[in-house]
Amino acid sequence: MTEIYINGNLYKVSLPEDTPLLWVIREHIGLTGTKFGCGKGICGACTVLLEEEPIRSCITPLKAVKGKRITTIEGIPANHPVKRAWVELNVPQCGYCQPGQIVEAYALLKKNPRASREEIVRTMSSHLCRCGTYPRILRAILRAQSMMGVKT
């Protein structure tokens, strides 16, 4: 039995310790906001937070998160500036990559609310968006910074 905290709730899961965290989150806990893309740690669709750090849940085994705090897209409040800016600017196209993008942006601004444009672009470039929403993603993060009262 492995205990993990997801979005503030304690879950006890009885699964092999090498089960990818993404499978635990989607198939066993039923939080389907986190997406499966490449399964190889490349695309970023499966990004969640381990404590404060964005991780790729498709390549993270259950044993690595035992007793730790995980935050998924569902755990970010709807009124957080990042989510509000995403809605205001209609960022998603097909939407598939967007939960991972939002989790990454949320983590970035939590760590560094004053992140420069260059830092934002560098951080977000680790996520693939086949619809090419990168310009809107950048604008949304800049908008979120301004909602947070950050002058960039």
Q: Whole-number minimum distance, CB 148 to ligand FES, in Å?
A: 24
What DSSP assignment string belongs to 73-140? GGGS-TTSHHHHHHHHTT--SS-TTHHHHHHHHHHHHHH-TT--HHHHHHHHTTS--TT--HHHHHHH
Q: Whole-number minimum distance, CB 98 to ligand FES, in Å?
A: 6
**Binding residues for ligand FES, per CB under 6 A?**
36-39, 41-46, 56, 58, 92-98, 129-131, 133
Nearer to ligand FES, 64 or 94 (CB): 94
Q: Whole-number minimum distance, CB 149 to ligand FES, in Å?
A: 28
Instruction: Indicate the length of the chain as a whole number.
Output: 152
Nearer to ligand FES, 41 or 135 (CB): 41
Residue type, 80: H
